[in-house]
């Protein structure tokens, strides 16, 4: 009898999750497609500003890591700083502004917001450390 209740509860949660998930996926696809040409216009060459903009762009354009490597490589080819690209790649897969409503509904508002803020800050810190270490080497 417990299995039947658990299955029913899971199905009810899934029914609630489907519209949210579809909306989030549509938003992510819209943002990713619409913003691919905009990235090059945002980066100015200023390391502090570029790292913040890179982290912000990655946060908004949430996706799977494999695609971030491809986009990061293209940005590097076009002259975007390694700092900005590193911050972009880190936030691309760890900070999800578009996924925030879904994350809040399943993990709670406080946890989701704190997790995203901490990941955003540490992405910038790690990007700075990566560039600093590579300059030493």
Task: Please tell me what DSSP assigns to residue 43.
Answer: -
Output the CA torsion 21→27→28→34 (10° steps): 170
Report the number of distinct structural domains present in the chain: 1
Contact between residue 76 and residue 85 where contact means Cβ atoms under 8 Å apart = yes
pLDDT by residue for the chain (137 residues), tens only, comes to 588 888 888 888 888 777 766 766 665 565 555 455 666 677 777 778 888 988 988 888 777 777 778 778 877 877 788 999 999 999 988 898 878 888 888 889 999 999 999 999 999 999 999 999 998 98
What pTM value is reported for the model?
0.70
Burial of 81 (0-12, 13-18, 19+ CB in 10 A): buried
Write out the residue range of the structural domain in which residue 29 sits. Answer: 2-136
């Amino acid at each position: 009898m417990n299995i039947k209740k658990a299955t029913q509860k899971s199905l009810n949660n899934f029914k609630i999750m489907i519209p949210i998930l579809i909306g989030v996926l549509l938003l992510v696809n819209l943002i990713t497609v619409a913003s691919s040409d905009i990235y090059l216009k945002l980066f100015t060459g200023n390391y502090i500003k570029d790292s913040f903009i890179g982290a912000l762009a990655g946060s908004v354009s949430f996706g799977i890591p494999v695609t971030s490597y491809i986009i990061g490589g293209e940005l590097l080819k076009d002259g975007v700083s390694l700092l900005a690209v590193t911050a972009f790649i880190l936030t691309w897969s760890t900070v999800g502004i578009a996924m925030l409503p879904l994350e809040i509904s399943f993990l709670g508002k406080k946890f989701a917001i704190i997790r995203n803020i901490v990941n955003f800050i540490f992405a910038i810190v790690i990007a700075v450390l990566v560039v600093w270490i590579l300059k030493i080497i």
